[in-house]
């Protein structure tokens, strides 16, 4: 017989508040065209991106996260001291240790919460959301702050015609707390490691030295391979998430996919046969691909503009480097 006392968690978990931060500098395609041989028309037709935000020196990973987190905490109607854990998904915090989550937790005034980083690329927000849900239900924390944040401009090769126009910077955050009814569905997640070379960093940190001739490490990808995988495989994962939540596309109010590429988004909408009443996030047009930050940023904009409302049922799905993915159905805060 175990002598361990059972945990006292909530029956369910839900997203209680959301916040976002976009850097002040807006970078149109014309700026990208200064370093690659392309055109605004080509970039828009291939990706749907017209502009993106790039961070200044002061808009660090931590600074953007603190801004987004403050908004999420206020939106949730709780105090920073009530946060029991901080989870940060990012691939652009350049220190292996300590985790940037500890600095963010301190700067938002969260006291002494559990704080750690995860690296799951563009699926990172979904991974963090699932971990937070588990903490709430298990009883490890009453409220969990989940942050997706990237400064991908630091990892962009502006001479690479295939990727120079894709990436942007920003931070999105949500507060996850207790719920009496199901408000975050089962997560369908996984990885396909045999495709790990399709999106990668060009040079490993331990291979990079300032005195060597290599360019600073950047993110590169095999665009066509990633596009095919996202279009054909991620629609299946999205359907599995709907099935796991026990709903159909007709039951959805909102679809918030990772903002990687407008063509991918439109193809998923078509494959899933989403009804016309479903609002689809297309934040990529003016924000670009912000990896782990893209879903919470898109969620925040939909709610702020009135395109989505509190209580709506939304399907969220992230996918990217690894290749990894995570999809779930949530009730919007």
Residue positions annotated with a catalytic role: 122, 258, 289
d(Cα 164, Cα 155) in Å, to the nearest integer? Answer: 10
CB 153 within 8 A of CB 24: no
Q: What are phi and psi of 16, to 5 degrees?
A: -100, -25
Nearest partner of 313 among 15, 10, 87, judged by Cα = 15
- Pick the closest to residue 320 from 290, 299, 296 (CA basis): 290
Give phi and psi for 211, each to the nearest 5: -80, -5
Q: Find the distance separating the first CA and the last CA of the chain, reported in whole Å.
A: 41
Residue 276 phi, psi (nearest 5): -65, -25
- Write out the DSSP string of 31-94: HHTTTSS--HHHHHHHH---EEEE--SSS-HHHHHHHHHHHHHHHHT--GGG--EEEEE-S---
| Alpha-carbon span 1 to 3, nearest angstrom | 6
- Residues 152, 92: Cα–Cα separation, whole Å: 6
């Amino acid at each position: 017989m175990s002598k361990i006392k059972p945990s006292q968690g909530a029956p369910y978990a839900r997203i209680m508040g959301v916040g976002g931060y976009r850097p002040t500098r807006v970078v149109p395609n014309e700026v990208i065209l200064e370093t690659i041989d392309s055109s605004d028309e080509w970039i828009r037709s291939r990706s749907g991106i017209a502009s993106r935000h790039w961070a200044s020196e002061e808009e660090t990973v931590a600074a953007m996260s603190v801004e987004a987190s403050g908004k999420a905490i206020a939106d949730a109607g709780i105090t920073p001291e009530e946060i029991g854990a901080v989870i940060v998904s990012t691939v652009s915090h350049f220190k292996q240790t300590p985790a940037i989550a500890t600095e963010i937790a301190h700067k938002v005034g969260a006291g002494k919460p559990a704080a750690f980083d995860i690296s799951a690329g563009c699926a990172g927000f979904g991974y963090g959301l699932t971990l937070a849900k588990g903490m709430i239900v298990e009883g490890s924390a009453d409220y969990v702050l989940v942050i997706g944040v990237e400064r991908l401009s630091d990892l962009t090769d502006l001479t690479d015609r295939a990727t120079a126009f894709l990436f942007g910077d920003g931070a999105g955050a949500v507060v996850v707390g207790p719920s009496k009814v199901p408000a975050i569905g089962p997560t369908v997640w996984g990885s396909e490691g045999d495709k790990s070379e399709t999106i990668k960093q060009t040079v490993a940190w331990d291979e990079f030295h300032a005195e060597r001739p290599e360019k600073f490490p950047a993110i590169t990808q095999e665009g066509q391979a990633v596009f095919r995988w996202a279009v054909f495989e991620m629609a299946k994962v999205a359907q599995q998430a709907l099935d796991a939540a026990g709903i159909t596309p007709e039951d959805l109010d909102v679809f918030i996919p990772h903002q990687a590429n407008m063509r991918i988004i439109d193809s998923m909408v078509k494959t899933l046969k989403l009804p016309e009443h479903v609002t689809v996030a297309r934040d990529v047009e003016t924000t670009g691909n912000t990896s782990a930050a893209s879903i919470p940023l898109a969620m925040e904009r939909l709610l702020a503009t009135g395109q989505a409302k509190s209580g709506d049922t939304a399907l969220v799905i992230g996918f990217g480097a690894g290749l990894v993915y995570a999809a779930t159905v949530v009730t919007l805060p």
